[in-house]
Structure formats: C-alpha cells, structure tokens
Structure 1
C-alpha cells in the first residue's frame, strides 16, 4: 500500500512541474527572430492577434514546442520501462542502441525508398519502430542466458556497442549520396528537432495516448519485474510475456520520439532517476513525474540550445548530451 503522504507529495511535485512546463513554454513562445510580446500571447491564442503574430505562434513556435515536449515525455517513459524491465539503472533507449536502430531504418527509408509527401510524416514512426525492434531483439538475444536469464550489465554493454556500430553504419550509408539528403541525416544524428509542423504532432500523439495509460496499467508489473526472477515467478506472473510486452512499449515510445526529433540520448536515463529521487521507486508514483520531467528537460535544452549561439543554435541532442554524459559516468562509477 502506498502511503498517503507519498501520494500527496507526488501531486504537489506534478503540480510544480506543470507550472514549470507552462512557464518554459511561455518563455519559448516569446523568444526568436520575431519577438512575440508576452502580453500578446493569450490574445493571439484566442485568435485576436495580427496575421503575423498568428503565423509565428501557430505555424512556427507552438508546433516545435509541442513536438519537443511530447518527444521528451516519450523518451522518459521509454527509459523508465527499460530500467524496470532490465533491472539496470543505466538503461536508456539512446545508450543501448534503440535510437540508433531507429536511425538506421529512417536513413535507409529516406535515402533509398520513394517518398510520398502525404504519408511520409505518419510512416516515419513505423519505420523507426521496425529498425528499433530488430535492434532490441538482437541485443536481448545476445544478453540472455538460458539458465541465468537476462543479464542487465551485459545488455547495457552490448547495447552501447550496437549503438556505436549502428551510428558508424549510418555514416557509411550516407557517404555516397547527394548532399541535401546527407544534411538531413546529419541533423538527425545531432538530435536537431526537425519535425516542426502540426502533422508531426498528429503522428506522435496517438502513440503516447495509447502507451502512457498502458504503461501506468502495467506499473505494478514493473514493480514485480524489479525483483529477482525467482521472486517474480513466485508472485505468479509470466516474466517473459511481461518483458516482451513492456520492451515493445519502450521501443515504440522511443521510435516515435526519435523519428521526429533525431538521435537524442540521456533523457530516458536522467528523468526516471530524478523522479525516483523525488517520490521513491514505486512505478505508480514516479512514472507520471518522470514523464513530465523528461518533457521539460528536452524542452529546456531545445530552447536554450536554439538561442545560445546565433543564428543556427546548438541541437537539442547535443545540449542534452552535455548534461547527460557526465551524469551517465557518475551513475556508472556509483553502481
């Protein structure tokens, strides 16, 4: 049974995060080449702004902000699931190769298949999912022992190796194609938020609408999977079945996110850790907090990176890595 004081604490933290996210969104809306006055934001939102203000808000700023927020949420939830399923606090879709697998699939699709402008946006998450799914199947198979079960440390090490190898494969693939397409893949590798139109929001939103409630429904299963395998089996759950379902959920979330944001790592590592430090280790408590933290982290990194260096800025993926890499090293040495 969860203590009422913890539930109360979680609600206060969620409220504080919602306020923080709202404030960050307002700041992000007002920043840019065309200054949108903060006292004009509400009027523009309700359709009383000028044509220029409405264009800047609805066609440029708001879609980019929402895409970044939703992608950060998806990556954070994916990381929380992976850490629970593998019983490894270092698991993250970017670190263990899932993002790179999705990237290879997107690269091949973008470079060598005919692109239909009407379906391209909505096909990207599915293409990314196929690449990520194949990658995680290989990593899982190589890190699983018949008698010892899944080896968490081995999974991370194999995943890191796969991530590096697949990133190298992407570079090899793009080395002989035309420059315009190379520029797109290079931006993807750097984690440059490129899906900044409303169709990309409709492409990623259904994945979150379905998979966030599903994960919360499975939260108690994640608690049980965090135990040793004999104990989890003794409770009466099918470990393999639950792992496969939750791994597919984590892969789908990561793939849908990186298909529109590029190769962004460490959000799925940091957000669950911060959430657990705030509200404890029960997945029912920390998953909603981790989702909001992940959304805010990526949104903050994107806004700061876009304006810290003019005119092109620093990609959000690089900004997150500047924070996440030292944090990963700290966790590695600690654990």
Structure 2
C-alpha cells in the first residue's frame, strides 16, 4: 500500500478551457499552498456561462463511476481532503455522493468541503432534482459553503430576519449534522445590519457598500458528544465580518474562496486568538486572500483598453456578442498575478472574523 506523505485533495467540479472558475479557480491555489490535487471534471466547457455562449460537454454519471472505479482498483483514491463544487445533474451528483460516502466510511478523519453550487439571487442554474441529493449529502460534509439562496434551498427557510437565520443554522447543524457552515457574500440587508454588533458593522455600511460573511461552527466538545443532535441546548459559535463590495461582475469567486478555506482549515489546531475557532481562523485567511485577489483583478481590468471595459448593455451585447466576450475576458480572476497573495506574501493585515457574541440571544 502507498503511504501518504503529504496532504492530498480530490477536487470534483467544473472545468473550463479559458478563464478561472470551478477547478481552474481552485486547483492552482491549493497547489500553491502545498497540496497535491487530483482533479475530476464534472463538465468540460470552453468558458463559463457569463460569456453568453460556450461549447463542451457534461460528464455523465457512468463516466464518473468509471473514473472512480478505476482509481479505486489502482489504489489511487488517497485523499485526506475532498472538495466538491459544480455538478449540474442529479445522476452525476448521486455518483459523487456515492463516492463521498465510501471515502467517509474508509477515512472518517477526511476533511470534506461541500460547496452546494445550485444558484444565486433566487435563480437555479442546475436541474431542480439536484436539491434533494444535496440534502442527503449534507451529513457527509465537514464544511459547507452555501450562499444565501442555497441556504434557503437546503433548509426550506426564507431568510428574512434573525429568527429565520437561527432556524436555518439549527437545521443545518442539528438535522443535517453539519459541523461547520460558512455563508459568504451576504447582502447587508437592513435587518441584518441592525442586528450586528458594533465591533463587526463598519460605520455607514449598507447593502450597496458591503457584504457579510458568517461562519458557524459547533464547539469541539459538542462534536465529541454522541448526544449532540438530540440536545436543543447545543449552540454553535458564530463569527462574522463585513467586506467592502468591489463593483463589477466576477466569476469563480466562490470556487476560489472554498479552495482557500479548505486549504487553511485545520480542525485539530488551537487558534492563538482565544475568541477564534479553527473554522473562523480559516475563513479569515480565505476571506482576506479572496478579497485581495479581487483587488488585483479589478486593477488589471481597469488597465485594459476601453473596448474591453464597456459597460453592460443587453441590447448591444446581443447585437455584438464579442462586446460581452471582451468584457468577461478582462474580468477573469488574476490568479497568476495574485499568486503571492495566495501564498500569504505581501499583505500583513488579515481580515479577522469577529465573534458574534450573543448571536443566539438576538431577536
């Protein structure tokens, strides 16, 4: 048997030839941070959907099963960490779920970050039958990184106030047994801003100027309890941080964030900051680096010729498709230019996730 000498990630998500979304946004950062990465592509496209036109194919469930079976026969399924992202259909997702379950049984200590990529801003961009499969997969995960809309899909709770946010997190932690939940890029709606402690909410922050990131993790003592999910008294530790909004359209941001979060998460390490948790510490690193890469990307885009910086105009974009293509092309994540940022060089200030003291008492 092969002996593991370092951490190895199995990444199962989309692939594009041009640009940085899915695996193209995740694999390079993981490698920069010292991880060997095995890559399975759930789709093979020319470019992401934001360009308006693309070519390529989806990987079928049978093709995924064939890959997984051959890897197992050759003793090549050796991940210490699993990362899953965009998987557009229920059959293919079920094949991935079957593999994740098998890996979880054989490697109980494996860290599994499940990014339930289903949609955004009230719009699904996968088949609806994917949703129940994701719900069945949640108990396998160590960390999940849904956006606002995906939390609503997974919990059947409309997030409209603090009590509904409490209900959603309780469902994810107690019903689905997810130890660590991260919700990033949350619009800073009025009710949410009103509930935030002053230590987290910047002066004059609004939904148009800032986004909110929330992390919720069960304490290590609770994770070791066999009665955890029968107890209504068990509460997660919640951290949050506001991030200045960078105007413009970017793709692959969630994929980059999830990869950085997985890379920096170490459940068994005790943070130096007594108010931090292993999850909040990892989110702080991922949030800081993702924001810094976006700033590099924004600067790169602003330096492009004017014809590649034209504003969105649906009518003109439809009449002249290359107008949109050039705009999208100029806003691809600047991962290569930002590789020192990813390695942690050149930025001293870490955007720390702050303890939301009294979160569960807020009404």
With a CA cutoff of 8 Å and minimum separation of 6, indicate the structure with the bigger relative contact order: 1
Choose between structure 1 and 2: higher strand proportion. 2
| TM-score between both structures, scaled by the size of structure 1 | 0.28
| TM-score between both structures, scaled by the size of structure 2 | 0.26
